[in-house]
Amino acid sequence: MKRWFTLLAATVLLAACSGKTTLVDDLPAIYPDYIGVTIPAGIAPLNFNLPEEYTRVYVRVSGSLGGEIRSRGRLASFPIRKWHRLTRQNAGGTLHFTVLGRKDGVWTQWRDFILYVSDLPLEDYGVTYRKIAPGYTTYSTIGIYQRDIHTFREEPIIESTLTPGQCMNCHTANATDPSQFLFHLRGGHGATLIQQDGHREWVTTKTDSTLGNVAYCNWHPGGRWFAGSINPVRQCFWTGDQRTIEVFDLASDLVIMDMQDHSLIVDPRLTTKDHLESSPAFTPDGKTLYFCQAKAYEVPRYVDSIRYDLMRVPFNPETGALGEIETVIPASQDSLSISFPRPSYDGRWLMYNQADFGVFPISHKEADLWLMDLSTGETRPLDEVNSPFSESFHNWSSSSRWFLFSSRREDGLYVQVYIASIDENGHCTKPFVLPQKNPRKLYHGTLYSYNAPDFTKSRVDFDTHGVYREVFSDERIQATVKP
Amino acid sequence: MNRLYRILTSSLLGAAVFAFWMWLFPQDLSYQEQNQLFLFTWDYLGQRLALPGGPADWLSEFLVQFFYSRTAGALIMALLAILLQRLVWRAAKTSSKRDERSLYVLSFIPSLLMLVYQGDVEVLLSYPVALILAVALCPAMTGARWNRLWLIPLGWWLTGPVILVPILLSCIRSRRWEDLIILFYTGLVFFAGYRLLAAQYPARDAFFGLNYYRLVESLPVLQIVIPAITLLTIWLCGLEIRLSRPLVPGIVTFIALALGTFASVRMTYDKDTHETLAYDWLIRHERYADVITRAEKYQPHNPVSACSVNFCLFMNGQLDARLTEFYQCGTEGLVLPSIRDNLSDITSGELLWMMGMPNLTLQYFFDVQESIQNGRKSGRFLSRIAECNIVNGWYDRAEKYLDILSQSLFYRKWARSRKAMIQDESLVAADPVYAYIRSVRFQDDFVTFYDGLDLMMAILYNQNKNNFMAAQYYTVWQRLKQTEAGQ
C-alpha cells in the first residue's frame, strides 16, 4: 500500500512539475560519478549534482531489498538517517536511482542507474587527511582533519594557524587506531609529535648520525617501534604542458625508532649514500619490513633516472634486529618505480604505487595502484580503480576489506579521496569519492587537496590546548642512536 | 562649538584622508586589494563568522574589494576616518542633559593615529572597522548594566578584543561593584570563546585579535596603543569642560595634531617599501614609463625594485641602453629566484609569462598567493594562475579558478569571458596573448631550476627567433653576470 502511495505521489509530483517530460536513453551526467559504485551500508549519503544548467532535481532511490527515499531540490540530497536505514536494509543488494532534472522549465528523465551496497561492513569512524594547496614550495594554511564517513562532519585535528611557520607532514596512526599516532612538524621549531593513549611528546628524531628528522613513518603493529624514512625533499619544475612539478629527495635513509627509550636503529645497509630508501611499512605480523630503494643519481639533472625497487627485510620485534634484505620487485629493471607499499592488516595483500620514475607518485600522471597477493607474490594493476591521472597514498580500513586512495582524476591537480572495497579474491569495486553535502560546491570550489588520507577506527582525540607553547618552547626528547 | 564647525572639521579630515590615499599612497590600496579575494558566497561568510572578530573582518573585506578602484578606495578610507571620529565624539556624550563639552578636537586623535598606523601595509582594514564597531557600541554598553552579560560575548564575536574599549568605558563611567563582576565575566567570555571558536589559534593571537594584522606571530605596539588612546580620548572628550573661547585652543590643537600626524607619517611610512609597492601597482596597470620616471628620482636599493625597473626599461625598449643608469644587483635584479613572500616575485612572474615560461609563472604566482600569511587568496594572482592553466590547455583547473573568480565583484566579468573562451578551443587559439605565449613557450619538456634560467632564455630564443624578450634578457643576464664576476 505504501509503495503504491509513493508511486502515486511521485506521478502527481511529476505531472505538477511539467506537462511534458523528455525521456533520454542515456545515463545522467551526475557529479560525482556514483553510477555503478559499491558503497558500504551506513556511509554518508551520496548526494550528487546535475550539470549547472539543471535548476531542479528530482530523485527517487529504491532498494532491491526494500525501502525508498526521495529528494528534490537544487541537488540530490538525502537525509542521513533515512539514507542509513535504506543502505542497511539493502546491504548485499542494489539501490535503484530514478533521476529527473529541469532545465529551462522542461523536465528530463534519464535512464535509471544502480549502485551496489556491499555486505562488507565499513565500521571505521572515518578518515583523516591533510588539506593543503597543491602548490609548489609555499603553503598558506594547512591542516590535518578528521571526517566522520557516516555523516558530513569534518573537524580539524590541528591547523597550521596554531603553529605558524611550521609545515605538517602526514598523520600516521597505528593500523587506523588513533590511540597511537604521530606526525612530523617541519620548520624552525620542527619535531615529531607522538601521542600514545592521550599522552603526547615532542621528539627530535634527527641525530648526529642521521640525515634529518623522519618524514614518512609506519608503526609496528606491536606499538613499540615505528619505521621512518628521512627525506630532505626538493622540487624542480617541468617546462612542458603535461606536468608542472617534480618532487625528489636529495638523499634518503631509513631508520627504526624504539619508543621504549627513543633510540634509533640505524642500519648501515639502509643509510648508504649511493642508495635512497623510502616508504617503510611493517607487515601485520610485525616480522617483515617493506620499503623502497633506488640507486641515487645527481639531482635534479637525472631526476628521471631514479627508480625504486620494492624491498623487504625480516624484523625481530623483540630486539629490533634486521635480517637479510631481499628485492621483492625489481621495478627499476623494467624502468618503473615503486613507492608506498602498504600490506593489508589481514596480511593478505600488499598495495603499492607504480610510476615511471621517482618517489612522489602524486605528481605523476601515470602513477597507478598495484596489488600484490602476498600468498603467491603475483602482482597486477588495479584497473578497476585506476584512472588516467595519478592515484596514490592508499591505505586500508581496519577490516582490510575497504581501502582508500587519493586521486587527481577530477581535474588533474586537486586531490580527492576515493574509497573502494576488495573481495577475498582481490577483485575491487568501482571507487566512490568521499561523499559531501554539496559535492560540486565543495570539490569544485575548494583550493585544497585532500592529501595523505587514512582510515581511523575511532575519532582522533587531540586537545590543542598547550600545543603552541609546546612547539615553540623547543622542549624536545632527543632521540639517540642504538649502539 | 557649533554644528557647522564640527561638520567642517570632519569634512576637512575626510578630504585630507582622501587626498592621502588617492594621491600619496594609492599603491597601499592596491596592495590590500590584491591580498584578499572577497566572494559573494554563504560559505565565505560562514568561514569569516566562525571566528571572533569575524563579522568585522567580513565587512572590511567587503570594503577592501572596492580598493580595486583607487578613487573608491580613497573614498572608503576617508569615510571610515570620519566615522571613527564622529563615533568617538558621540561615545563621549555622557548622560548629562547639558552638553557642555569643548574638547572636540581630541576626537580626531584615533582617526589620525589610525592613519599613522596604516603606514604599516600589513595592517588589515578589519582593525579600524572593528574599532569603529566597538566605539559604536559604547553608548549601548554604557547604559546596559546587566545587559552587558549578553552584549559582551556578542561584541567580542563582532569585533574581537577591541570590544574592551566599550566594556572598560562602561566600567569607568558607572564605577559600581557589579563592574568587577563584569570584568571577571569578560575574562571568562574571552577564555571560553577562545576555546570554543579559536582553539586552532595561539591564545595570544585570539586575545589580541586574529584578523587585525596580516603577518602571523607579530603584535605591533600600536595595535594595543590605539584602543587605549581611543578610550582615553572618549573619556577626555566626555569631560564637561566649558571653554569660554573654544575656537582658539581648538584651532591650535588642530594644527598641532596635523603637524604631529605629518611628522608621524614621515617616520612610520617606510619609503622603500612604499616605493616598491608603487612599482608593483604601476606595473599592474601597465604604466611602465611612470615606473622609470619614479626610479629616476628615487629608487630603493633592493632586488625587487631592480627587477621592476629593469622590466619597465625592457617594456619601453630601453633595457640594454639604460641598464647602468639604475640600481643593479646582479642577475637577481633581472629575474628573482622564488622568494616566499607575497610581493617580491610578482614582477618576475609577469615577465616570465611574457617571455614564454607559463609553468614558472604558475609556480611564482601560486607561491606568491600561498605566501599571503593570513591564508587569504588573491583575485589578481588567481587570474594569472587561471591564465597559465589556459595556456597549458588544462581547462578543468582553469574552470575551477574562473568559477571562484566569478563569485567576486571585480573579477566576475573577466572570469566569465574566459570561461566562455575555454569552452571553445578555437577561441583560446585565437586570443592574441595566449596564442603568442603558446608560440614562444618551450616545445620540449624538461626539468628546470633557477640557476639555469639564462640557458632557458637561450633555448626559448633559439626555438623562436621572434622571442625578442628572451634574447634581450639573455644578453643582459650575461652582462650582469660578467659584472658580478668582475666585482
| DSSP code of residue A422 | B
Q: Same domain, yes or no, for A246 and A266?
A: yes
Strands A477-478 and A402-407: unpaired
Q: List Cα–Cα distances, A364 to A336, A339, A391, B201, B462, in angstroms.
A: 12, 12, 9, 35, 29
Residues of A in contact with B399 (CB under 8 A): 411
Q: What is the pLDDT of residue B11?
A: 96
Tell me the angle at which helices B271-284 and B26-33 cross, rounded to the nearest 10 degrees: 70
Q: Measure the CA angle with vertex B280, ends B278 and B284; round to 5°.
A: 115
Say which residues have a Cβ less than 8 Å from residue A479's Cβ, sequence separation at least 6: A203, A204, A205, A206, A207, A257, A262, A263, A264
Q: H-type helices in A263-388, by residue range?
A: none
Q: What is the pLDDT of residue A4?
A: 55
> End of a domain among A89, A118, A147?
A118
- Interchain contact, A158 vs B338, CB within 8 Å: no
Q: What is the pLDDT of residue A12?
A: 47
Residue A368 domain-assigned (yes or no):
yes
Residues of B in contact with A449 (CB under 8 A): none
Residue A253 domain-assigned (yes or no):
yes
Residues of A in contact with B200 (CB under 8 A): 143, 156, 158-159, 161-162, 464
A interface mutation test: which of B341, B447, B450, B457 has the most A CBs within 10 A? B447
Closest Cβ opposite residue B359 in set A140, A239, A441: A239
Grid cell, residue A60, equals: 527517487
Residue A264 domain-assigned (yes or no):
yes
Q: In A, residues 401-420, which contact B (CB 8 Å cutoff)?
A: 410-414
A465/B contact by beta carbon, under 8 A: yes
Residues of B in contact with A300 (CB under 8 A): 447, 449
Residue A50 domain-assigned (yes or no):
yes
Say which residues have a Cβ less than 8 Å from residue A269's Cβ, sequence separation at least 6: A322, A325
Q: Look at chain B and count its residues.
A: 487
Tell me the C-alpha distance between A418 and A436, whole Å: 12
* Whether the Cβ atoms of residue B81 and residue B54 lie closer than 8 Å to each other: no
Tell me the C-alpha distance between A134 and A406, whole Å: 13
Angstroms from A284 CA to nearest CA on chain B: 35
Tell me the C-alpha distance between B228 and B206, whole Å: 18
Q: How do residues A68-99 score in pLDDT, each as one tens digit?
A: 999 999 999 999 999 999 999 999 999 999 99
Q: List Cα–Cα distances, B206 to A39, A175, B188, in angstroms.
A: 42, 36, 13
* Whether the Cβ atoms of residue A159 and residue A146 lie closer than 8 Å to each other: no
- Interchain contact, A468 vs B203, CB within 8 Å: yes
Residue A10 domain-assigned (yes or no):
no
Residue A220 domain-assigned (yes or no):
yes
> End of a domain among A92, A118, A144?
A118
Q: Same domain, yes or no, for A172 and A96?
A: no
- Interchain contact, B370 vs A303, CB within 8 Å: no
Q: Same domain, yes or no, for A349 and A223?
A: yes
Q: Which residues of chain A have pLDDT under 70?
A: 1-19
Residue A5 domain-assigned (yes or no):
no
Q: Same domain, yes or no, for A130 and A103?
A: no
Angstroms from B84 CA to nearest CA on chain A: 31
Q: What is the pLDDT of residue B5?
A: 86
- Interchain contact, A445 vs B360, CB within 8 Å: no
CB pairs under 8 A between A and B: 123
Q: Same domain, yes or no, for A59 and A154?
A: no
Amino acid letter, A415: V
CATH number at residue A57: 2.60.40.1220
- Interchain contact, A243 vs B367, CB within 8 Å: no
Closest listed residue to residue B297, CA positions, set B316, B275, B329, B319: B275
- Interchain contact, B456 vs A411, CB within 8 Å: no
- Interchain contact, A236 vs B377, CB within 8 Å: no
Residue A1 domain-assigned (yes or no):
no
DSSP string across B127-178: HHHHHHHHHHTHHHHHTTGGGHHHHHHHHHHHH-GGGHHHHHHHHHHH--TH
Instruction: Report the Cα B236 to chain-centroid distance in Å.
Output: 32
Q: Same domain, yes or no, for A50 and A167?
A: no
Strands A477-478 and A199-204: parallel
Angstroms from B370 CA to nearest CA on chain A: 5
Per-residue pLDDT of chain B (487 residues; tens, 9 = 90+): 578 888 999 999 999 999 999 999 999 999 999 999 999 999 999 999 999 999 999 999 999 999 999 999 999 999 999 999 999 999 998 766 666 777 889 999 999 999 999 999 999 999 999 999 999 999 999 988 899 999 999 999 999 999 999 999 999 998 888 999 999 999 999 999 999 999 999 999 999 999 999 998 889 999 999 999 999 999 999 887 777 777 788 888 889 999 999 999 999 999 999 999 999 999 999 999 999 999 999 999 999 999 999 999 999 999 999 999 999 999 999 999 988 899 999 999 999 999 999 999 999 999 999 999 999 999 999 999 999 999 999 999 999 999 999 999 999 999 999 999 999 999 999 999 999 999 999 999 998 888 889 999 999 999 999 999 999 999 999 999 988 777 5
A143/B contact by beta carbon, under 8 A: yes
Q: Which residue of A has its CA nearest to B395?
A: A411
Q: Same domain, yes or no, for A384 and A331?
A: yes
Q: Same domain, yes or no, for A55 and A178?
A: no
Angstroms from B349 CA to nearest CA on chain A: 14
Q: Same domain, yes or no, for A248 and A379?
A: yes
Closest listed residue to residue A288, CA positions, set A229, A352, A370, A227: A227
Q: In A, residues 423-442, which contact B (CB 8 Å cutoff)?
A: 441
A447/B contact by beta carbon, under 8 A: yes
- Structural domains of chain B, with CATH: 3-269 (no CATH), 273-486 (1.25.40)
CATH number at residue A311: 2.120.10.30
- Interchain contact, A240 vs B445, CB within 8 Å: yes
Q: Which residue of A has its CA nearest to B449?
A: A236
Sheet holding A368-373, edge to edge: A337-343, A349-355, A368-373, A379-381
Q: How many domains does chain A have?
A: 2
Tell me the C-alpha distance between A288 and A252, whole Å: 20
Amino acid letter, B44: Y
Tell me the C-alpha distance between A245 and A364, whole Å: 9
Grid cell, residue B469, equals: 624578450
Q: Same domain, yes or no, for A207 and A134?
A: yes
Closest listed residue to residue A184, CA positions, set A139, A218, A153, A225: A218
Tell me the C-alpha distance between B464 and B458, whole Å: 10
Tell me the angle at which helices B54-64 and B70-92 cross, rounded to the nearest 10 degrees: 140
Q: Same domain, yes or no, for A459 and A336?
A: yes
Tell me the C-alpha distance between A396 and A348, whole Å: 12
Q: Same domain, yes or no, for A50 and A165?
A: no
**Parent domain of A319:** 126-472
> End of a domain among A118, A150, A173?
A118
